[in-house]
Structure 1
Amino acid sequence: MTHPEILLKQVPLFRSLRVEDSRHIAALLQKQTLRKGDVLFRNGEGGHSLYMIAAGKIKIIRQSRDGDEVILAVLSTGDFCGEMSLLDGLPRSADAIAVEETHLYGLNRLIWLKYRRVFTTCWKCGCCTRRSRPCRKTP
């Protein structure tokens, strides 16, 4: 299983963190385990965390207009999801479901907001997610 500090560095938003900041934030991450089929979040739910996958797999899906499941991505160890809602606080744009037993670390939006000075360059990315959301319409 991947260590939380290493996971943070794999997320582009956090690559520029100083070592001491990375350690401090890693200590605040919330560990979570999902079983196969467990739902991490659903499309339209309030978004309040970014999740980094320490081990396992998560599929990101949307429903087509015909009601079919459309797999947008299958994420695995070292990948992350939920970054758009972390940055802009808007509802989730897809479902995230465990494909197998999955171990995650979550960064809550309240922690993000509390330490936004540490994330100064990252904070500016919030406007970019607002611009890219319209591009993620249902297929």
Structure 2
Amino acid sequence: MTEIIKGHKNLLNNDLLDILALNPLFSTLDNCELEQIITHLNIVKLKKGEILFREGDKGNYACFLVSGEMDIVKDSVYGYVNVLASLNKGQSIGEMSIIDNTSRYATLLARTEASIITLTQADFNLILEKYTKTGIKILKGIARLLSINMQKVSGRLSDYMQPLH
């Protein structure tokens, strides 16, 4: 059973600040700003093989991997499961979920025991209201991460494209 630990008392430590600072969403925040947002985070502990969310679920929180390994998987039309990517410490998934309510495009599965920090859309909206400058920095981080991901996808797609002439 997935264990969810609410509140910041379980989260506030230097290791967590270091892990969050690795992620492009938070890389421009100083320790004071990171401490501001920690009160709005929860930690989720998963056992090996547990699913945090499934493809098609409503997305309303972003996930940041603190420990362990997670696989992003998607069912193929041929009936098998494709591992799209694997997440390691400091990486994230579902960042757009704190901006809009789109459905999850894939399933998130714990390859090993794992701990994940979550930031809900509601808590992100509170951060924007209470700590506007910090919230804007996070929004810029989302844009930066989307740009990085778009460049990766464009590079992969170009390998499969036929020349235009």
Deviation at 1:121, TM superposition (A): 4.2
**Counterparts of residues 1-139 of structure 1 (less than 5 Å):** 3-116=15-128, 117=132, 118-123=134-139, 125=142
Quote the Cα distance in structure 2 between the aligned partners of 1:76 and 1:11: 11
Which has more strand, going by share of residues? 1
Q: Deviations over 1:112-132 (max 9, x none)?
A: 111122221443657x96xx7
SS in 2 for 1:104: strand
Q: Which has the larger radius of gyration?
A: 2
Contact preservation (8 Å) 2:71, 2:110 = yes
| Structure 2 unpaired stretches of 5+ | 1-13, 154-165
Structural RMSD (CA) = 2.2
Quote the Cα distance in structure 2 between the aligned partners of 1:88 and 1:7: 25
Quote the Cα distance in structure 2 between the aligned partners of 1:123 and 1:88: 13
Contact preservation (8 Å) 1:14, 1:119 = no
Name the TM-score, length of structure 2 as normaliser: 0.69
SS in 2 for 1:36: coil
Which is bigger in relative contact order (C-alpha 8 A, separation at least 6)? 1
Contact preservation (8 Å) 2:71, 2:85 = yes
Name the TM-score, length of structure 1 as normaliser: 0.81
Quote the Cα distance in structure 1 between the aligned partners of 2:89 and 2:54: 21
| Structure 1 unpaired stretches of 5+ | none
SS in 1 for 2:90: coil
Quote the Cα distance in structure 1 between the aligned partners of 2:105 and 2:41: 23
4+ residue segments displaced more than 4 Å: none
